[in-house]
Amino acid sequence: MIRRHALQSGGSPAKTIVGWERFDDYPKPAEHEPLGINYVYDFDRKKLRVECPELDLVVVDLPIGKGVAEQISMSDGGDKLAGWPCWIQEPAYPYCPRCGELMQFVFQLTTDGHVPFMFGDQGIAYLFQCSQHPEVVAFEWQCH
Ligand SMILES: [Zn+2]
């Protein structure tokens, strides 16, 4: 099935960005493992071990089910420039069609945020750019 999403005829009124608010943003748990954080679950003991070999860091006997990964870091789910994508599903960085490199996250738009548009079922849209080919951008969205 293919879903088509289009703005109503005439689109929505233009808005101007009048300012930015700086804040810290971190990757969602789904990106922790590729970034070097490993979670080792001991379901019999209901304990969790978190390891980051690059930092020679090991934390043991954390309680399972207490949102440890979410407490380590989360991504903001609002409209934003830069930071980390707030993936609704699994991380899905696109590859540049020219050089094959993973593209970099640039911008995020949420359903009915500053842009009055619904990306699927309360979805979030992401804009990416190739670091080697700045004229190459990709747009994708995920929803629940
Ligand atoms: Zn490229």
Amino acid identity of residue 48, one-letter, is L
Q: How far away, in angstroms, is 131 Cα from ligand 1 center?
A: 6
Cα 24 from chain centre? 14
Helix (H) or strand (E) holding 68: helix 68-72
Amino acid 10: pLDDT: 62
Q: How far away, in angstroms, is 106 Cα from ligand 1 center?
A: 15
Choice between 42 and 65, residue whose per-residue pLDDT is larger: 42
| pLDDT-based confidence at residue 129 (cuts at 50, 70, 90) | very high
- Local structure of residue 32 (DSSP, 8 states): H
**Mean pLDDT computed over 64-88:** 95
CA distance 123 to 21: 23
Strands (E), 22-91: 38-42, 47-52, 57-63, 80-81
Q: How far away, in angstroms, is 105 Cα from ligand 1 center?
A: 13
CA distance 66 to 95: 35
Q: Specify the pTM.
A: 0.84
